[in-house]
Each structure stands twice: as C-alpha cells, then as structure tokens.
Structure 1
Amino acid sequence: MLRIGQTLWKRLYWLLVRPKRLAIFEACLIGLVSGLAAVLLAQGVAWLGGWRQSASHLLPAYYVLPIIGLLGGFLAGTLVERIAPAAAGSGMSEVKAVLAQVPMPLNLRIALVKLVSATLVLATGIPLGREGPTVQIGAAIANQFSRWFPTSPDHRRQLIAAGAGAGLAAAFDAPIAGVLFVVEELLQDVSGITLGTAILASFIAAVVSRILGTHSLDLDLHLVTPNTSFFALEIPFYLLLGILAGLGGVLFNRGVLTSLSFYGRFLKISLPWRIGLAGLVTGFALVVLPPVFRDNAGLRELLLSGDANWQLVALAFCIQFLLIIFTYGSGAPAGLLVPTLALGAALGYLVGIWESHWLGLSLPTTYARVGMGAFFCGVARVPITAVIIVFEMTTDFNLVLPLMIVSVTAYLIAELFEAGSLYDKLLEFKGIHLSKEATSPGPWLELTAADVMQRRVETLSSRMRLDEALQAFSQSSHRGFPVLEDGKIVGILTQKDVANLSQRGLNGDRFVAEVMTPEPITTYPKDTLAHVLHLLNHYKLSSLPVVEGRRLVGIITRSDIIRTEAAYLNTTEDVAGPKAEPSQVIYRIRAPETGQGRLLVPLCNPKTAEKLLQMAVAIARDRHYEIECLHVIVVPRHQALTETHVSMRAGQRLLRQAMRFGQAWDVPVHTQIRVAHDLSEAILQTIKERYINLVLMGWKGSTTTPGRVFSRVVDTIIRQAACEVVLVKLQDQSHFDRWLVPIAGGPNSQQAIALLPALTSLSKTPTVNLCQVFDPDETKPDTTSLNKAAHFLEQRLDGSLKIAPIHATSIADAILKSAKHNNTDVIILGASREGLLQQVVHGNIPATISRNSQQTVILVRAASTV
C-alpha cells in the first residue's frame, strides 16, 4: 500500500509541476502580486501627493514645495543607497539586461525598496513616472518566485518577462500593451509559453489595478472625450508630428545620457543628496509654474481637456523637458515612459493648434492624444506598443490610423539619426552592450533535446526478471535503463534501485516492474538544452529519457551534453572548405638553448611588434626563458601548402627586429616562419613541437564574429593551448607607468600578480593600484587575497603600491571607472574563475573591460585552467 501511495503521489506531483501547468499557476500569482504592488504605489503617491498639495495651500508654497522635494528625495536616496543600490533609476533597462542573460541583481529586496523609494520620489512632485518601478517590481517578484519554485533558466527568463509585462499593464491599465512591450522590447520572443504567461500575468495585473487602483492613467475616466475623426487632409500634419516626435525622442535620449554624465562628472555627491537636489529644483520649478502642474498628471489633463493656450503649452513643454532630464540623471527610482506621454501630448497639442488654424478639421486635443504615442515611440522605439497603449488608454478607435502614421514616422526618423531605444543607450552608458554577439545564448538555448539525445536506447521490459536486468547492468556502462511496456515508457531502473534490492529483501526471481522507479522524469524533443540541464541537476539524474507522449524516442546523459557542447564550439570555428593541412616551416633560425623555459610570440603586425617584444624580453629575463618568435603566412584552403608561392619579406623583417631585441638584452631568440591554412592551428602546432611554456600574443580587444568572446583565433588558443596564455590589447600610445590590477583570488589572478614584477620593469617609476571589487552589501569584506597579493608585490616591485577595496554591483563598470579616475595606462586581469569562454549566464568580464576601456589591457590565463 505504501508503494502504491508513493506512486500516486509522484504522479500527482509530476502532473502539477509540468512546466506549462506550473507556468499558468506562476503567471496568475505574478500578475496578482504585481497588480497589488502597482496599486500600493499608485495609492501611496496619490495620498502623499495630496498631502503635499494641501500643505502648499496652507503654507507658503515657495518654501514648502522645495523642502518637501529635498526631504523626500534625500529619504528615497538613503533607502536605495543603503539597502538596494540596484533599485536606483528607472529599472527598465536593468530588467532588459537580466533578460539578456547579463548578471544583475533582481530580487524581493529590490522590489520592496523600489516600491517605497518610488512612492517617496513621485510624491514630491518630481516629473517622472511609475511605470519603470512597476516593471522592475514585477520582474523582481517573478524572479523571486522562480527561486522559491526552482525552474529551468529559459522558463525563469520567461517568467521575469511576464512579471515585467504585468508591471507595465498595471501601471497603464493596458494589458495588451504589457504583452506587446514584452515581445517588442524586452524579450523579443514569441514562443507559445512566453505569450501565454505574459498574457495571463498582464491580464490579472490589469484587472487588479482597475478594481483597486486610482486609474490615474485611464484618460476616459477623468476627461470628457470629444468625438474624434480622421481626414486625409490631416496626413501632412500627422507626418509633421511624427517627424517632430522622432527628433524630440532622439534629443530626449541624448539629454538623459548627458544628464547622467553631468551628475557623474560635476556633481560627485552621494545618491541621497543627488536625488534631494533634484527634488529641491523640482520644488522651485513647481512654485513658478501654475498650480495645475503640482499634480504629476496636471499637464497631461490640461492638454487633453483643451483649456490651454499655445504659449503656456510651449513654456510647459520646455520646462518639463529639461526638468525630466535633470531629475532622472540624479538616479531617482522612477520611470521615463509616463513623462514622455506628457511631452508628446504637449507637442501634439501645438501641432493641433496649427492644424486648427489652417484646416479646422480636428481639435488640438486629438493631436495631443496622438502625440502621446508618437513621442513614446520616439524614445522607446516600440511602434506597435505605442499604438496599442494609447488606444487602450483612450478606447477611441478613430485614433488608430493617426497613431499608426505618427508612430511609424517617429520610429523611422529616430532610428535614422540614432539607432537603439533609450534603454539600450542606458545599458551602453553602463558598459553593457546587448548586441547579438554579446547576448548570444550559445548552445543552452539554441540546441534542443532532439539535438543532444541518443536515438538508439538500451531498454528493459517491465516483465523482465531481475537477474536478467542485473546481467544487463554488468555488461553495460549505463547507470540506468528505461523500462518499456507495450512500447511505452513506464519507469526507469537505476543502479540505486538495484542497490536497494537487498534492503527490501527481494531476489532475482522478481520482475523489473516491482523494483523500477515508476513515472520517471522525462523531457520532450523540443525542450531546450537549458531545460534539460535543469532537470538533470534539480532531480540529480544521470540520464533523462526523451519522449513524445509516452513513446520513448531517445535518452540524454551528462556525457552527451558535454560531447554536444564541444561539437558546437568546434563547429562555430570551422571554416568552409577542405580540411586544413598541418602547417609547414619554411624559414627557421635557432639560438643557443640555454633557457629554463620557452616563450612564444606570434608576430604579424609591425605596429604592435615592438611593444610585444619589449614585454616578451621583460618576462624572459625574469623567468630565464628563451623566446620563440613565429610569423604565420595563411593561404587559402584550396591551395596546397607545398605548392603555393608566398613572400617571406615582411615576416623576415619582423623576425630580424626580434633578434636585435634579444641580442641587446642577452636573451636567446629563435625564429620561424610557417605557412598554414589556419592561424590558430599553426600556433597550437608550434606550442606542441617547441614545448612552449607561455604564449604572449596581441589581441585587438573586441570581435564582430557572432558567438565569439575575443576572436576565432584567440578563443581557440585559450581553449586548447596547454601552456600559460597572455593576451595584450595595445593602445596606439602605450605607456607602462600606471597599472591597475583587479584581483579575485583565483589561479589566473595569482598568475597575473606573478607576472607583474617583470612587466612593470618596462617603466622606470611604475605605480601599481591593487583593487578588489566587493558587493555593496558586504560591510566587512574579506580582503585576504588583496593583502596577500600586496605582501607579494611589496617584496618584488620596484615602484609604488596602492591598495583600494571597491564596493560596486558591476565588476566591469567598477574597474573601468577606477581606471579612468586614476589615469591608468595598463589594466592587467586574470581570467574569471568560471572560465574564460563561459558567457552564457555570467557574461565575460575581461571582454567587457577590453571593449570599453581606453587603456592597454593584459589578460592572463594560467596553464592549469585548460
């Protein structure tokens, strides 16, 4: 009976936790909580904002409003800085980065801090929006749920996107726009489960917001909407509005980035004082403007009601435009989409006044509504969402055609002058580039179970005797066998099941059906490799049957995944054409072999050869190495190496320069020229034949090849070379006086520290800054590795040494800022512990630093990491 009960429980549990059914439950929960959070934010802002307006009527507004702005901003900034620094800013760009597999914090603490701090900031009258906070809150709640109910990485990503869509839907009371925003801007994925979870979460969040919320963005509940119409004669005016909105969107985006740079360069004060200053300036601005502007929705309602003259609208547009840009640059935890609606309404109202003067076909309020979508699209570059969000807010079908005209026009004009949405620009400002190359999911999301599985599967029959099954185990290396009955999978027999035979008092006369694990965990052919890995790790399985319905079509083991990943990496670097021949040596000069090891320097670029040779000589003198200089001449694969005529003149010139360096410093230098079909294969062949201990090679610092981290050749050397590898990205004017050395405690970091005394000998007065980046939440960081490295260098370094622990959420961003602040000449990095080429989940910090730095970058990978 106990066995039957366990079987029924397993079947019930697996029935409930199947991914798509679990996704429905999670989407409902995410939508409900996100909607409640949006309601709390809206009600909190309305209550505190009402209190602020009452106070400004009872007391002199010229000091009440600035003081409230200063105090509210300071309190919100203090809360963010001390508890959750990642809650600063809109939050929309951070959510987009997380969905693109960039490692950034997104948890329940951030959601709670964002809720409270955004309430404080928006209640002070700062002209920002609540859609950014609600999106980040919804995504953070979804991410927290995915941790409480563990799921696969791709499913977790979809849940986060659903939470973001729910947050936007709740903020605007626009469920369709929430779904489209997920598809068009955040996730760019239209798979069935993505749309299903996003639709359900957005719908529930919007329903909760409509039932319990303030409806502050539902225009028809506040305003008497006149009958609107659309005439063909108005098309030129709508085109003009789209052009102006596109140009305004570009100017707005650049203004936001300029504001962020201004605060970073000239207002180097803490976050609480920055946001407090923004609140103070806002307070003074609200004193100057008419009282209607003291409500966050005042400008929008004034325009949409048609009671404003063009002079007031133009003045308000300019003041609001500058005020929004200035306040957002402070790091205030609020959004930018709602403010763009107000700016778009003002711009549309002005065009509408002009149209009324010339044609008199429509009211300026109609153009104000259409302008909201136009400016929204010019900033966010989401034309479909822009049309739908205004349509859902107005429920006026007559606006659809004008909205389509202005949104598409604004999008095309904005993209013509500057490609990419505001959120892409904000991420690039932080050093995060969401290009296809940087966010390529690799095999984890590209490959499916069908690509990995073995189709020929050894199975057992449920009616087989146990002694026969044991014999199958003894003759096979498999740790488990699927069990079939009438061609359908009914269970799996594992080594663990066999080991429990004696404990249960069973003998070989029993049948497999009595011992097997029924209802095994399975996967489907279309499931991604990320989902397969999740199942293997979560349930601690050694193999995973692949089924269609209940029919077994294959099986996946951990070794299959390793083999497939290796094949994937090799395939991406293959070049079309015949198989490459082994490289051939066509020129060689040998020096006395007196060194204790050998350092290989591939030379091909005359501009960088001298600097590379200087570094090679410095390392060789320190380690008593010989130098092997290699020049490779690459020929097309369709040509035979022995029959192709090549010129060695350029290579010989480089190698003679290397020999002069060696003679000047009394270092043995060997030289050779190889002809090869593939550069990386020639380098690897030289490493093997010449017993190389260290490779020092130039590196351009970035690559445009899809799926690559550094470049095709460099990635191959890093992955396959058994020796130590040192990559150097040289600047045109390279100096070696000021060094920045971030450490992480791993073997590669230690190897970088060990190389430093030799490399700093290139300068007469080197200055070395040792730093280690810690999480802002670590009040007492462990500086053991930092102190150990400092002690090592103090005894060997002929120069000054400084130690600087750094607290930051982004390692790459912190290192780049430190390098800029200290006018660093060279950054020397050890490869990350996760592996130099692992970028699927964690990103590649060295590649990010090199791509965005203006300094020489040296990257060290120890031999033991291969």
Structure 2
Amino acid sequence: MKKLLAKVQKSSWLANSSLDTRYALLEACLIGLFSALAAVLLKQGIGWLGGWRVQTANLMGGKIVLPLTGLVCGTLAGVIIQVLSPSAAGGGIPQVKAALAKYPVVLDLRTALVKTLATILVVGAGFTVGRRGPTVHIGAALGAQVSRWIPNSPTNRRQMIAAGAAAGLAAGFNTPIAGVLFVVEELMRDISGLTLETAIAASFTGAVVSRILSATDLNVPLAVIDSARKGSFAVNDIPFYIVLGILAGVLGGIFNRGIIHGMKFSRTFPFPIPIQIGLAGLISGTIVAWLPPFFEDNAGLKELLITGQFSWQTTAVIFVAQFCLTILAYSAGAPGGLFAPALVLGSALGYLVGLAEVALIGSESPYTFALAGMGAFFTSVVRVPVTAIIIVFEMTADFNLVLPLMISCAIAYIVAESVSKGSLYEHLLEISGIELTEDKPNHDFMTELTANDVMQPKVETLPSNLPLPELVKAISRSHHRGFPVLEDGKLVGIIAQSDLPQDSQPATSMLLKDIMTPHPISVSPETSLGDVLYLLNRYQLSRLPVTEGYKLLGIITRSDIIKAEAKQLNYDHHPKAHLEPSYVVYQSRSPATGKGRILLPLANPEHIDDLLTIAAAIAKYHQYEIQCLRVICVPNYVYPAQANVETDAERKLMQQLENWGKASGISLHTQIRVATDISEAILETITREQIDLLLMGWKGKSSGIESIFGNVVDTLIHQASCDLLLIKLGNAPHAFPQQLDLRHKWLIPTTGGDRIHKLLAIVPALANLYSIPPKIQLCQVSSADLGGHYTTDFLQAVELVKNKLDCPIFPLLISSDSVSKAVIELTQDKKYGLVILGASNEGLLQNVMNGNIPEAIAHHANSTVIIFRNSAK
C-alpha cells in the first residue's frame, strides 16, 4: 500500500506548486451532468403541474382554479423555502454572484433540491417567471456540493460554482456558448484559463445531456425561423432597429426599477415569505383568468412568434400583462427567473416594432424584429449584451440576425444604463446588505497567503543513510512524527513514525532510504495556502515540504495553517499601521548552489569587512550563500517605488562585494532596497529570499528609552523567522582575525542543555578563522548556595564541545548572584577577545528586561560579543 501511495504521489504534480487541471475538468463535467439532470427534472415537473392546472381550469373554470392554484402552490413553495432552505428564495442569480464574491451564501445539495421543488410549484402554478434563472442557481449549488464531495483546492471552488452556473444556463436554453459567456460577462468577470476551461467543460456536458434527454424545447417554431431567414438585412431597417434598441433600453430600465422598488416594498410587509408568495400567486392567477386563454399555459413566447396569431392590440396587452405580473412575482420572492420573461417581453416589443415597419415601408416580415427584440430586452434587463446576442443566435443558428442583434443590443445597453444604471442583480444584493464593489473586496486569506508565509523554515531532517536503530532513537527523541530525508543536501524522501517496521526484531542493516517514501509531494514557496490545504486533504498528509528545486526550504503542517488562520482573524480585529512594501532598485544574482542563505544588512561602512569575514566563515562551514542588503530609508509619506534616490555609492559597494564573492568562491547575492522602515525591509527580505541566518552588527547601546538593543534590532529579535547573529565588535579594529596574543581567548558562559547545541552551529565556523585554534573557556556562573559544584548539564556541555572542536577547552566555575556582573568582571580581568552568548527566541529580550546577561555584557565588555538567537520555528 505504501509503495502504491508513493507511485501515486510521484505521478501527481510531483514538482511543486501547480495543481493539474485535468481533475478540475473531470469535476466540471460531473457538475455539468448533474446540472443537466436537474434541468430535465425541473422541466418535466413544471410541464406536469402546468398541464394539470390548464386541464383542471378547462374543466372547472379558470376564474376559480387559476387563483386558487396560485395561492396554494405559492404558499406551499414559500413554506418549503422558509423551513428547509431560505437561500433558495428568489431568482438565484444574485445568490450565485454573492457566493462567487466569497460572501457566506449557502450553496449545497439542500439548496438545489429545495430550489427545484419550489420552482416547479411556482412556475407550474402559472407565475410569470422562468425556470432558466433557477437552473443557474441549481447548477451553482450542485457545483459547490460536488466540490465538497471531491477534495478540491479552495481557490478552485469558485470555478466549480461558476461551472455549475454555466451548465445550468446551457442545459436550460441549449446554448452552451452562452452559458460560458454569462459566467465571464456577469458572474465571475474573469477570463483566466481555469475559469474558461471548467465553464466550457461543464456547459458542453450540460447542453449535450439535456439535449439527449429532450429537456431543451425553446418554443421557437421552425416556420418562424425559416420566415425570418427569408428576409435580409437592409439599410432601411437600421432606423427601426435603433428604435427597437431605444424602446428596449427604456422599458428594460423601467422594468428593473420596478423590480427593485417592488423588492423594497415587499420587505416592508410584516408577512412571512409563504404568505407573500401565496398572495402574489392569488393576484397573478386572478389576472391571468381574465386574460385570453392562451395566457393560461404561460407559453406567450410561442404564440407571439406564430405568423398572424395576434393583432398589435393583443400583443400590447400581452406585453403589459407580462411586464406587471413578472414584477409582482419576482418582488414577492418567488423562486423563478427573469430570463424567459425578458425574452417574451422582448419578442413582443420587437414584434410591435416589426409591425410598424411593415405598415410604414412595406417590409415582408416582422419576425426578425421579434428575435432581435429578445436580445435587446434581455440586454436591458440583465446587462449582458454579448450573452444576449449569443443566446438568440444559438436558438436560431441564423447569421442574418447577428447585425440586427448587435445594433439593438448595443443601443439597448446604452439607453438602459441611462435609465437604471448598474446590474439588476447587484442592486438586489445591495437591498440585502451585500455590496459587490471593487473598492470593498472580500479578501480570502487562503488565496493571499503562500506556503512561504506559513512554513517552518527550520526543519528537523534526517540523512538517507541513517541506520534503522539510529532512526528509531532520533524519532523517539523528537516531538515530531515525520521528517524530510536529505541526501547531499537534496530532498529525496520523507519518513513518518508509522513507516517504521513493525517486526519485533527488524534488520539492523536496514537504512532509512529503504523504508522512506521517495519522491514526496512538495510545494514551492509561491503555492497558495488554499492549494496546500487541498494537497493535504486529497492525499491525507500531515505535512508538506516546501522546496525550491530539490532544495528544502521548510515544511508546512496542518497546525501551521490553523495558526495562520488564527493570526489572520486576530489581524482583522487588530489592524496595524500600514507600511508600504520596500522596493528593489538594484540586485545581482549568483548561482543558488548553497544549502542555506545568510542575510548581511550593510549599515556602518567601518564594520563591513569584519562582518563579511564572519559571514564568509559561516557560509563556508555550512555551505551557505550570502545575501548582502543595503536599505535606503525614505520618509513615510514617500512611496518607495516612486522615491528618487541616489544609488551610485551603494551600487559601487555592491559591485565590490560581487567581485569579492567570486574571488572567495562564495555564492554572493546583492540587493538595494528603498523602504520607509529598515526593519520591515529586512523582514521582507528574510521572507522573500528564504533566509536561514540573519547576521548584523550592533553598536552596543540602545537608541531610545524604550528600546533595548535599538528599535531595528528589537523588531528583528521579535519578528525574524530565521536564526539571528548579533555582533558587537570590540574596541580593536578588524577584530577578525586578530593577532595571537592574550586576547586570543574565548569565553562562552553557558548552563549546558540545548543552548550549547545551538551555539555549536556557529562556534566551529568562527574557530576556522584562526590558523592556531583559540583557547575556549566554558564558564558556569552559579550562586553560592549551590555549593560550588558543576551541574551535570554543564559537564555534558564541556564533553560535547571537546568532541566537536579541536581546540583547548577549559571549564570555569564562578560563584556570583549576578551572571552579567560576573561575566563582565571576568572579561575585563582576563581580556578575552570574544564572548559568545546563546539566547532563546522567546527569552532574549525578557532576559535583558530582567537585568540578565546579553545586553549588559555586550554593552560593558570591551571584547567582541556575539549573541546567537536560535529561531523558535
């Protein structure tokens, strides 16, 4: 099983950050299938209930049956919505837009089922609303549900919702291209590759399946289409298409205003939604009962397009009735859409304009105007001209309609924006308290944060050739349960405690590489946190390595994501002052061949040589690269990217450092940044460049009353995610290397324990600066009441240092109640050349505030003092 998992991991997105879109496309096809089945169910249910209503009205009398059916079915639909899923009310497209904007709108299987049942009751009962808008809502809800069933990246769930919406429209109208365009033009306003690919896949699948199951009957008679094709577009027709566009724009804008005011008015009613929808059904049924019989089955689109069926008077009555009843039904919150009513109104309006043209200039056919009117009125209501053109074109497959549609839709859009500006759906969301504006984006920290932002840069790793007994000991000593496996500094595998053999007597000759999981899934530093969570969920992983090529940069666990979320929530409630990001005005790159990276900020020119010498020693010892940084500070009111600064001197210095790096055989990078805050620029560089060690000088005294080491250093001690080496150079110039004299002695105060292990990360590298090894004094300071004995931890530390260093090691015990005072007096008396202090990430500043070791010693000692703070991560 383990080998199979390794093979799957190797074959699926092995490299780093990119998630294969093939799985998203398969998921989109599945969403398209479900959306088409829902469209079939919706159409058949409406057809059955509507047929029953018409037959019953013919037998028992429409003036009783139609109002009663509207009242009962509308009330029942309202009860179902209120009890089971309030989010299923209304047309549905505003809810989809809000969900795509990352507002907490419920979209799930329950919403889809309730929407389907309620729409069947409402549309089948004779409400003058359509079923295509609800299919968009149902498709989006199914898309959201499928994305929960199938593990997916949170950053891709929006695409799955949009794909479901596209499939719903395509299945309802048999217009797959229009389904895709509606998503791009109205819902997402996004043309990224994944959005288009998934929308196309879902829309195509939905249209094909619904066509196979005969779910898409657009009620456009072939005779009408043939009649429209017989005519040809002429210059004389242009003024009438312009008039049609103007009328559609004005009336469509009024229609939208009517719906908006109707929604606001309905919210002032003290009645619950079941009563509101029931009353709307009662009123609608009563009005329809007094209209001509053909209006009973709500198939106005078909009759309006049959040659010679209606006079212009009847057509006008139909337009007015459809106009008012649609506003009534939609304002009451009935689960129905505006697509079909808009097409009916547009066809009626276009038919009237066509009849006017026939009367004035003797045109042969008014039906092209009826079809163009559909697109124009649809545009004025929904404000999607391209989608409107494509819907009508896909309905008829007639190229002769393209120019009339373009003229009418363009004019209608311009005029409608003048009458009622903005998207109807956005206005409806504003009534509900949701504002979809670019000025108030709804940020998603999952998409904003990257792996680099949350990873732990300090990772416990194991070599691939580690024997099994040593592996068992290493795992038992650590609180971690999984470790990256390295070979020659490259990530080659990952080992978990569960991978250890269960045999009571495992083979002692077995090595770690024999049981590790090779080729582990890893991510790059730029991978979004949403994609990281997706990989963790899909493969049931507990950790993910973060790599750059084969170089291990850090690791991410589920707890890191939880901490990031908690930090983000805390940040939202406690905003901090905004600082503009720093701006790189110069940089140079050397080959990234090191196992880690040292950041060396350059401030005081007099100390550059000494600090560079120390950095070079550590870089050679650990096979690290050096990143030299110079920060040019500008006032807060100046935007760093637009600051006009002189960099000639800094560039010259950087070029000298580049030449030094080449001559020394060290991979050295340089960078000049302009920033409003030096510490923020350094922290930004640490994050961007994956720094392992920050090495910086300190003048030995603070720059303010409240600061301890200095404002910049204090900030970096608190916030730097890497190891920190703080150096206060001694009085002698060029402290490294010094001449062999009495100063050629080092003092390392320690209590032993973990701190000595941390110090040994730098002490051997510094010892290599000397041709003759320095003498190292390990000092333990204890109070007199302890009896003047070495502690066990201290003695173990002495043995550890002796084993690690080829230097003379001398233990020293001092009795004193003040550690800092004892070390300062010892330093002044013995004249040590170097004092090395270890401190924890949490305790460095706290120790200083309590009057303890680091700052006091560094401030008063004449020797060079190095304070090493190991990262807490």
Q: TM-score range by the shorter chain?
A: 0.5 to 0.7
Give the one of 566, 576, 579 matched to 1:574: 579
Map of 1:103-114 to 2, 5 A cutoff?
Answer: 103-114=104-115
Q: What is the letter of the counterpart of residue 192 of structure 2?
A: S
Paired amino acid for 1:390: V
Secondary structure at 1:573 match in 2: coil
Q: Tell whether the 8 Å contact from 2:459 to 2:555 is kept in structure 1 after alignment.
A: no
Q: CA deviation at 1:445?
A: 2.2
Counterpart in the other structure of 1:164:
165
Q: Deviations over 1:226-281 (max 9, x none)?
A: 1142223322322222222222222111111211222222x432322222221122
Structure 1 residue identity aligned to 2:320 = C
Q: Is the alpha carbon distance of 1:346 and 1:151 closer, same or farther for their aligned partners in structure 2, counting shifts above 3 Å?
A: same
Residue in 2 that maps onto 1:241: 244
How far residue 538 of structure 1 moved from its aligned partner, in angstroms, is 6.4
Paired with 1:472 and 1:436, the residues of 2 have a C-alpha distance of 53
Amino acid in the other structure paired with 1:296: N
Q: For the Cα contact (< 8 Å) 2:154–2:446, is it kept in 1? A: no
Alignment partner, residue 85 of structure 1: 86
2:333 maps to a residue whose letter is G
Kept in 1: contact 2:78–2:275 (CA 8 A):
yes
| Partner residue of 1:394 out of 387, 393, 396 | 396
> Percent identical across equivalent pairs?
50
Counterpart Cα distance in 2 of 1:448 and 1:236? 56
Work out the CA distance in 1 between the residues paired with 2:275 and 2:85: 16
1:49 and 2:54 are equivalent in the alignment: no
Q: Which residue identity does 2:43 align to in structure 1? A: A
Q: CA RMSD in A?
A: 4.0
Cα distance change, pair 458–429 in 1 and its aligned pair in 2 (3 A): same
1:38-73 alpha-carbon deviations (Å, 9 max, x no partner) = 011111111221222222222222222222222221
Name the SS of the counterpart of 2:545 in structure 1. Answer: strand
TM-score computed with the length of structure 2 as normaliser = 0.60
- Partner of 1:129 in structure 2? 130
Distance in structure 2 (CA, Å) of the matches to 1:308 and 1:553: 76
Q: CA separation of 1:204/1:540 partners in 2, compared to 1, >3 Å: closer, same or farther?
A: closer
CA distance in structure 2 between the aligned counterparts of 1:351 and 1:556, rounded to whole angstroms: 68
In 1: Cα distance, 2:493 partner to 2:636 partner:
54
Counterpart residue number, 1:530: 530
* 1:5–1:110 distance in 2 versus 1, CA, 3 Å: closer
After TM superposition, list the pairs within 5 Å mapping 1:403-552 onto structure 2: 403-446=405-448, 448-449=450-451, 462=464, 465=467, 481-483=483-485, 491-494=493-496, 496=497, 500=500, 505-506=505-506, 509-523=509-523, 527-536=527-536, 541=541, 543-546=543-546
Deviation sequence 1:415-452 (CA, Å, 0-9, x none): 34443211111111100111124333344324555787
In structure 2, distance between residues paired with 1:571 and 1:551: 37
1:177 Cα deviation (Å)?
Answer: 0.9
Q: Secondary structure at the match of 1:557?
A: strand
CA distance in structure 2 between the aligned counterparts of 1:76 and 1:57, rounded to whole angstroms? 24
User: Which residue does 1:143 correspond to in 2?
Assistant: 144
- The aligned counterpart of 2:716 is none
Q: Could you tell me how far apart the structure 2 residues matched to 1:444 and 1:370 are?
A: 45
Q: Quick one: which of 251, 255, 261 aligns to 2:254?
A: 251
Q: Which residue of 284, 300, 310 maps to 1:298? A: 300
CA contact (8 A) 1:56 1:64 kept: yes
After TM superposition, the score normalised by the length of structure 1 is 0.60
Q: How does 1:210-249 map to 2 (within 5 A)?
A: 210-217=211-218, 219-220=220-221, 223-226=224-227, 227=229, 228-249=231-252
Change (3 A) 1:121 1:462: same
Q: Which amino acid aligns with 2:148?
A: R
Q: Tell me how far apart the structure 2 counterparts of residues 412 and 508 of structure 1 sit (CA, whole Å).
A: 81
Distance 1:3 1:576 in 2: 45
Q: Secondary structure at the match of 1:28?
A: helix
Say whether the 8 Å CA contact 2:221–2:302 is kept in structure 1.
Answer: no
Distance across 1 between alignment mates of 2:312 and 2:242: 20
Once the two structures are superposed, residues 742-773 of structure 1 have per-residue CA deviations (whole angstroms, 9 ceiling, x without a partner) of: xxxxxxxxxxxxxxxxxxxxxxxxxxxxxxxx
**1:547/1:351 CA distance change after superposition, 3 Å:** farther
Q: Distance in 1 between the 2:463 and 2:222 partners?
A: 67
| Cα distance, 1:339 vs structure 2 | 0.7
How far is 1:119 from its partner? 0.6
1:523-581: per-residue Cα shift (whole Å, max 9, x none)? 46764332223434666756423579x86685553598778988999999225899xxx
Matched, 1:383 2:385: yes
Summarize the alignment of residues 713-732 of structure 1 with structure 2, pairs less than 5 Å apart: none
Hey, what's the Cα distance between the residues in 2 that align with 1:194 and 1:514?
A: 43
Task: Note closer, same or farther for the CA distance 1:456–1:117 as it changes in structure 2 (3 Å cut).
Answer: same
Residue by residue over 1:444-465, the C-alpha shift from the partner in whole angstroms, topping out at 9 and shown as x without a partner, is: 3245557877999997665565
Larger Rg computed on CA atoms:
2
Q: Distance in 1 between matches of 2:306 and 2:450?
A: 51
What does 1:724-803 align with in structure 2 at a 5 Å threshold?
none
The DSSP-based 3-state class of the residue aligned with 2:305 is helix
The 2-side partners of 1:552 and 1:75 are apart by 63
Deviation at 1:466, TM superposition (A): 5.4
AA paired with 2:245? G
Residue 218 of structure 1, CA deviation: 5.4
2:69 corresponds to which residue? 68
Contact map agreement 2:494 2:517 (CA 8 A) in 1: yes
* Native 8 Å contact 1:138 1:166 kept in 2: yes
- Asked if 2 retains the 8 angstrom alpha-carbon contact of 1:220 and 1:393, the reply is no
Q: Which aligned pairs between 1:570-649 and structure 2 lie closer than 5 A?
A: 573-575=578-580, 637=637
Equivalent position of 1:347 in the other structure: 349
Asked if the contact 1:304/1:369 (under 8 Å) is kept, the reply is: no
Aligned to 1:183: 184
- Name the CA shift for 1:59/1:572 in 2 (closer, same or farther; >3 Å): farther
Q: What's the secondary structure of 2:337's corresponding residue?
A: coil
Q: Specify the alignment match of 1:264 in structure 2.
A: 267
SS at match of 1:225: helix
| C-alpha deviation, 1:127, in angstroms | 0.7
Deviation at 1:342, TM superposition (A): 0.8
Q: Is the 8 A contact 1:161 1:187 kept in 2?
A: yes
- Whole-angstrom CA distance in 2 between matches of 1:235 and 1:555: 66
- Indicate if the aligned counterparts of 2:46 and 2:124 stay in contact, CA closer than 8 A: yes
Label 1:412 to 1:539 Cα distance change in 2 as closer, same or farther (>3 A): same
* Matching residue of 2:207: 206
Whole-angstrom CA distance in 2 between matches of 1:57 and 1:563: 66
Task: Name the counterpart of 1:336.
Answer: 338
Would you say the 8 A contact 1:306–1:364 is kept in 2?
Answer: no
Q: Is the CA contact (8 Å cut-off) linking 1:11 and 1:519 kept in structure 2?
A: yes
Gapped regions of structure 2 (runs ≥ 5): 584-634, 640-675, 681-703, 707-718, 720-873
Q: Determine the C-alpha separation between the residues in 2 that align with 1:339 and 1:314.
A: 15
Give secondary structure in 2 for the equivalent of 1:106.
coil
Indicate if the aligned counterparts of 2:219 and 2:302 stay in contact, CA closer than 8 A: no
Cα distance in structure 1, aligned partners of 2:405 and 2:255? 20
Q: Structure 1: any 5+ residue segments left out of the alignment?
A: 579-634, 640-676, 682-687, 691-719, 721-866
Following TM superposition, by how much is the alpha carbon of 1:509 offset from its aligned partner in structure 2, in angstroms? 4.2
The Cα shift of 1:316 comes to 1.5
